[in-house]
Structures are given as C-alpha cells and as structure tokens.
C-alpha cells in the first residue's frame, strides 16, 4: 500500500496526510475549500496542546484564554481561572497551519471536491473535478456532512447537533458558556485574536433552527456583545449516541473514516478538534505499521470508550435534576461557591479529567463540595442575600 488519497483537509485529514507523507507514502489530499473559516468555536483544550505542542509554540495567530464564565439557564454565574489556557484559533488559520505542515512533509494538495469514491475493486477510484484518480487506500475525513460512505451508514439526526452562530468583530478575554433550560446543548462566546465566535448547539432532532437563533440573539443581547458586523454561520456537529460509537463501522479493507466523519466528538461538550487530530494521527500510525484493520481498536482504547460514557451521561447532564434543580444550574452554583468543585471544572476544561473517573470523583468530593457551598453561602464576605432563586 503506497498511494493514499485523503478526502478532506480539516484537522483529521491534514494531520493524517502529514504523518503518512512523513512516513514515505505518496499522499494526495483533496479539499473543496482548503484553508477556510469552517464554522467552529476553534477552542483547543490543553490535552490537544500536550499532544501537539506546535499548536501553541508556533507563530500562527491564536488567542490564549485563561478565564471562563458559566451561566445557568436562570442567570446564575460562576467565573473561574483555568489551570491551563484554552487556545482559540480562527479555523482558516488552524487549517492553513495543518495543511502547510502536510505539504512540507510531501503531501500533494488539490483544491477540488470529490464527488465519487469506489472502493469495491482492489484499488480505490476517486472522481474529483471531473478527473479520475487511483489510490491503494482512501481516508474519508470530509467532516460531519460527509456523504462518501463506502460500506457504512450515515449519521442519523439523533447523532447530530445543529449549530449556528456569528463571527463578530469584537474582543474579549473571557470564554462564556450559557446552559439552556431543559435542552441538550448550550451557547458560547469564544474570543479569537480579532473576533468572537458566538454560537449555539442543540440536538438536531429536537429543535428548529429559528428557535435556536432566537435563543442565541437573546444571549448576545443579555451579554451586551456588540453585534455590528456579525457574520452568520451554521453547520452540523456530530453528537454520537452510545450505540453509534459502539457499533458503527468506520473502516473497511481499503478505506477508513476519521474525525467528524467517524463521529469522533465529545457528545457533551462538542469538542471535536482534539479527536479529529488524534483519529487522523492514529489512522496514520495504523497504516504506517501495516495494520489499518487495527485502527478502530486503537481509537477505542485511546478515547472512544470514554466518549461512550459521555454519550450515556449527556441526558443526565443537560436534562437531569439534582437536589431539586437542573444539573447545569447546580453545576454553576457549586462552581461559584466551592473551590473543590472549581478544581474539578478546571480539570474537565483542560482534559485532565476523563468521564471514566468523573462519577467516582464527584461522589468522593461531594461532602467537601457541599460543606464549601454552605459555608460560602452563609459566610462569604459580600455574599448576596440568600434568595429563593439561588436555592
Ligand atoms: C459551530 C461549531 C463549533 C465548534 N467548536 C469547537 C471548539 O471550539 N472546539 C473543538 O474542539 N471542536 C469544535 N467543534 C467541532 C470541530 O469543528 C470539528 O470536530 C472538527 O472540525 C472536525 O474536523 P474534521 O477534520 O473531521 O472535519 P472538518 O473540519 O469539517 O473538515 C472536513 C473538510 O473536508 C472538506 N470536504 C468535505 N467534503 C468534501 C468533498 N466531497 N471533497 C473535498 N473536500 C471535502 C471540507 O471542505 C473540510 O475542509 C465545533 C463544531 C461546530 C460546528
């Protein structure tokens, strides 16, 4: 296997192209846009930076954010410092950086849309911009809207979130996240170097685009974000269910899916950049070692098993109740009043806390968290008068 075709030059396809080219494969990458402003928050957690330090060290424009504010659906707020910065890129910059690295490693990039992939013969046949191409193996990293699926099923509406938002020419130093009342999803404001990406995500099967847009416009108004010059975007985001992560086929004899196409996204947070990079990298490793069939198992042992736990928790997090209030509201209240709980959030934001250990840690520190909450509630200097609302 020497010639590899890659459909999609986002993080998954670009890093796979870089690694395979470095290993000496002949790689051709097709992307209909190349380095473009793909609708996205652009936030990279510390676990992505740890694996790929060039994302922080290099000269490409990016913003390091150290503070976050969580806002409950009822308006409670908790601000905290993160232990590690969230690194936020414009996607045009990030994709450009990753594609440059792939090209520098020897990958050939073509600005073209692939319209057909045939994997039924011994070799793979692709059609792009009216031309035919032949390869030994095809990596399908065309994102969540990917239609090229030899031998597998498309993601169902239950596995997808609708997202929409605005790129707004404004500056900020704070990530804001607002939870929604009894809805699986949230709104965010992610500051980049010279603009904000402000958006909303929620399960596709459950909400209309217009209802989400109304909620987002309300958020922008409440947060006093100046909306002048705002540029609207919308896109889909995988939010895979447990069964999809466990059973959907993501690889065959001469093809494999990576990134969003393989539904490698955290169903709770919507984080996909880290998983796109890791899946592209792990696929390249499997191919380089002559074991492409080991790719699904590599994904599972590195992160898919953890994403399955997230898929089981998602409803509880966004729709569940705890001590008589919404889980997300309690989360914000605990974050505001308990240092121990803020420490947990820091680890969740950086990626140091996985889902496998989360439940155990939550119960283990529950007593301390509650004691800190009660103590702060009654004794903190300048604490607001305890109100019915807070309880
Ligand atoms: C609104 C929104 C906000 C998000 N915010 C964050 C965030 O802050 N942090 C985070 O970690 N994740 C975030 N995500 C998720 C993240 O954007 C994705 O997980 C990530 O982009 C997946 O990378 P990928 O390489 O798999 O796919 P993509 O980045 O979607 O790249 C796919 C590429 O394939 C190309 N392509 C598709 N079809 C074809 C074709 N037929 N022929 C040629 N080219 C093709 C496209 O042009 C595209 O460049 C967000 C997603 C959305 C929608």
Which residue's CA lies nearest to atom 39 of ligand 1?
Answer: 142
Gap between the Cα atoms of 205 and 183, Å rounded: 12
Decide whether any atom of ligand 1 lies within 6 Å of the 270 Cβ. yes
Mean pLDDT, rounded, of the chain: 93
* Owner of token pair 């993601």: 155
Q: Of the ranges 32-41, 118-127, 200-209, 235-244, which one carries the lowest mean pLDDT score?
A: 200-209
**Does the CB atom of residue 137 touch ligand 1 within 6 A?**
no
The whole-angstrom separation of Cα 278 and Cα 303 is 9
Ligand 1: residue whose CA is nearest its atom 16: 272
Strand ranges (E), the chain:
3-7, 26-31, 43-44, 63-71, 77-88, 108-111, 114-118, 124-128, 131-135, 137-140, 160-168, 174-179, 185-191, 196-203, 231-238, 255-257, 321-322, 325-326
CATH for 3-36+91-154+241-310 (1.20.1740.10, 3.30.465.10, 3.50.50.60, 3.40.50.620): 3.50.50.60
Q: Tens of pLDDT along 300-335?
A: 999 999 999 999 999 999 999 998 899 999 999 999
pTM over 0.75: yes
33 lines ligand 1 (CB under 6 A): yes
Sheet holding 124-128, edge to edge: 114-118, 124-128, 131-135
Residue 388 has pLDDT above 50, yes or no: no
Looking at the DSSP assignment, which residues form a beta bridge with residue 109? 29
User: In this structure, is the dihedral angle defined by the CA atoms of residues 60, 86, 259 and 237, taken in order, positive or negative?
Assistant: negative
Q: What are phi and psi of 372, to 5 degrees?
A: -65, -40
357 Cβ neighbours under 8 A, 6+ residues apart: none
Asked if pLDDT for residue 134 goes beyond 70, the answer is yes
pLDDT winner (highest mean) among 205-214, 260-269, 343-352: 260-269
Among the atoms of ligand 1, which is closest to the Cα of residue 144?
30
Residue 235 CB–ligand 1 contact under 6 Å: yes
Over range 173-183, report the average pLDDT: 93
Query: Is there an atom of ligand 1 within 6 Å of 276 CB?
Result: yes
Q: Looking at 109-255, list the stretches that DSSP marks H as alpha helix, in order from N- to C-terminal side.
A: 209-222, 242-247
Residue range 294-300: mean pLDDT, rounded: 98
Q: Please tell me the total number of residues recorded for the chain in this structure.
A: 391
Tell me, using a 6 A CB cutoff, whether residue 306 lines ligand 1.
no
Atom of ligand 1 minimally distant from the CA of 43? 8
Average pLDDT over residues 349-365: 92
Q: Is 143 in the pocket of ligand 1 (CB under 6 A)?
A: yes
Contact 140, 62 (CB under 8 A): no
Asked whether this chain's domains 3-36+91-154+241-310 and 157-238 adopt the same fold, the reply is no
Q: Delimit the domains of the chain by residue range.
A: 3-36+91-154+241-310, 157-238, 319-379
CATH number of this structure's domain 157-238, picked from the four choices 3.30.70.20, 3.90.550.10, 3.30.9.10, 3.40.605.10: 3.30.9.10
**Per-residue pLDDT for 293 more than 80?**
yes
170: left (phi over 0), alpha (psi -120 to 50) or beta: beta
In the reported structure, the alpha carbon of residue 295 is separated from the centroid of ligand 1 by a whole-number distance in angstroms of 20
What would the pLDDT profile of 267-284 be if each residue is shown by its tens digit? 999 999 999 999 999 999
Q: Which atom of ligand 1 is nearest to the CA of 36?
A: 49
pLDDT-above-70 percentage for the chain: 97
The CA 35 to ligand 1 mean position distance, Å, reads: 11
Place of tokens 């953890």: 306
């Amino acid at each position: 296997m020497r010639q590899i075709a890659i459909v999609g030059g986002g993080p998954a396809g670009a890093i796979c192209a870089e690694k395979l080219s470095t290993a000496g494969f002949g790689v051709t990458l097709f992307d209909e846009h190349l380095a473009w402003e793909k609708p996205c928050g652009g936030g990279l957690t510390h676990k992505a930076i740890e694996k790929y330090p060039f994302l922080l060290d290099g000269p490409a424009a990016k913003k390091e954010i150290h503070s976050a504010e969580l806002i409950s659906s009822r308006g409670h707020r908790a601000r905290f410092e993160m232990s590690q910065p969230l690194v936020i890129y414009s996607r045009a910059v990030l994709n450009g950086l990753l594609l440059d690295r792939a090209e520098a490693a020897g990958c050939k990039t073509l600005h073209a849309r692939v319209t057909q992939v045939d994997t039924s013969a011994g070799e793979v046949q692709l059609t792009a911009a009216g031309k035919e191409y032949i390869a030994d193996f095809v990596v399908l990293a065309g994102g969540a809207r990917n239609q090229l699926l030899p031998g597998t099923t498309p993601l169902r509406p239950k596995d997808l979130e609708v997202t929409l938002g605005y790129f707004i020419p404004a500056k900020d130093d704070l990530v804001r996240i607002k939870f929604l009342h009894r809805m699986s999803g949230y709104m965010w404001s992610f500051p980049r170097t010279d603009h904000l990406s402000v958006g909303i995500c929620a399960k596709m099967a459950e909400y209309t685009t217009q209802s989400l847009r109304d909620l987002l416009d309300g958020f922008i108004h409440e947060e006093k974000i100046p909306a002048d010059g705002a540029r609207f975007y919308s896109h889909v985001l995988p939010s895979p269910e447990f069964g999809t992560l466990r059973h959907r086929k993501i690889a065959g004899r001469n093809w494999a899916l990576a990134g969003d196409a393989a539904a490698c996204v955290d169903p709770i947070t919507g984080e996909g950049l880290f998983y796109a990079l890791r899946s592209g990298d792990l696929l390249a490793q499997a191919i380089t070692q002559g074991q492409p069939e080991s790719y699904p198992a590599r994904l599972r042992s590195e992160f898919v098993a953890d994403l399955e736990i997230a898929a089981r928790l998602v409803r509880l997090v966004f729709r569940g109740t705890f001590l008589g209030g919404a889980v997300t509201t309690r989360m914000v209240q605990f974050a505001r009043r308990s240092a121990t709980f803020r420490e947990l959030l820091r680890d969740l934001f950086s990626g140091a806390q996985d889902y496998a250990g989360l439940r155990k840690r939550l119960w283990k520190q529950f007593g301390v968290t509650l004691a800190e909450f009660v103590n702060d509630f009654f004794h903190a200097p300048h604490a607001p008068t305890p109100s019915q609302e807070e309880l």
